[in-house]
Amino acid sequence: MSPVLSALRTSTKEKHRILDASMPLANPEADWFDYIDHLNILATWLIPLEHWLAKHCDGPQGEQAPAFIRYSDLIALDLAQADALPANRCFDIASWPKQENSAYRWGISYVIEGSQLGGEFLYKRLSARLAPRKLGYLQGKQSGRWPAFLQALATYVVTPMDIDSACAGAVDAFDALLKQLPVREQL
Domains of the chain: 3-84+93-178 (1.20.910.10)
Residue-level pLDDT at 186: 47
**pLDDT surpassing 80 at residue 157:** yes
Whether the per-residue pLDDT at 29 is higher than 60: the answer is: yes
At residue 185, the pLDDT reads 45
Range among 37-51, 59-73, 152-166 rated most confident: 152-166
* Per-chain mean pLDDT for the chain: 88
Residue 3: is the preceding peptide bond cis (ω within 30°)? Answer: no
More confident residue, 120 or 19: 19
Q: What is the pLDDT of residue 118?
A: 86
Alpha-carbon span 113 to 109, nearest angstrom: 6
* Residue 171 near residue 15, CB atoms below 8 Å: yes
User: From CA 177, how far away is CA 15, in angstroms rounded?
Assistant: 10
